[in-house]
Every structure is written in C-alpha cells, then in structure tokens.
C-alpha cells in the first residue's frame, strides 16, 4: 500500500490533485478483487434464515399493529 501511495505522489501533477489513470486502474483492480472475494463467501445460513423469516412475516401484520422488539410490525 505504501508503494501505491508513493507512486501516486510522484505521478500527480502539482497543484491539480487526484491520481493518474494508472493508479486509478490499480486501485480499481484491487477493489474488484476484494469485492469478488467477499461475494464468493456467500451469505451465512443464519442471515439467509432471518431474511426468509422477515419475508414470510412481511405480509402477516397490519400497519397499526406493534411488535415488542421495535414498536412496528
């Protein structure tokens, strides 16, 4: 990371700010690699189950009913 930071400092035009296209491209590739890794991990079973429960409970209550957890259904 220090390498990218030092290259960014060297390759920008003084007074303009910002990063050149090469640095932006490297950052983009790294971000995509990190994002792809997170997506491949998938959704934990407990979260998937919670979403299923919320979806099935979504149509069961009326607008005026309250719930002891958050005050609304």
pLDDT tens string 40-72:
998 899 999 999 999 998 766 545 444 555 555
* More confident position, 4 or 21: 21
Residue 66 · residue 72 · CB < 8 Å: yes
Residue 26: count of CB within 10 angstroms of its CB: 15
**Residue 63 domain flag:** no
Residue 4's pLDDT is 54
In whole angstroms, give the CA distance from residue 40 to residue 47: 16
Q: Write out the residue range of the structural domain in which residue 32 sits.
A: 2-10+18-57
Residue 17's pLDDT is 74
**Residue 67 domain flag:** no
Percent of the chain with pLDDT over 90: 47
**Residue 41 domain flag:** yes
How far, rounded to the nearest angstrom, does the alpha carbon of residue 46 sit from its chain's CA centroid? Answer: 19
Residue 73 · residue 65 · CB < 8 Å: yes
**Residue 70 domain flag:** no
How many folded domains does the chain comprise?
A: 1
**Residue 65 domain flag:** no
**Residue 71 domain flag:** no
């Amino acid at each position: 990371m220090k390498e990218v930071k030092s290259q960014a400092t060297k390759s920008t035009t003084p007074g303009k700010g910002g990063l050149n296209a090469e640095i932006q491209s490297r950052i983009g590739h790294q971000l995509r690699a990190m994002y792809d890794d997170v997506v491949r991990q998938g959704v934990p079973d407990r979260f998937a189950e919670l979403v299923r429960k919320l979806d099935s409970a979504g149509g069961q209550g009326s607008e005026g009913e309250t719930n002891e957890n958050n005050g609304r259904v």
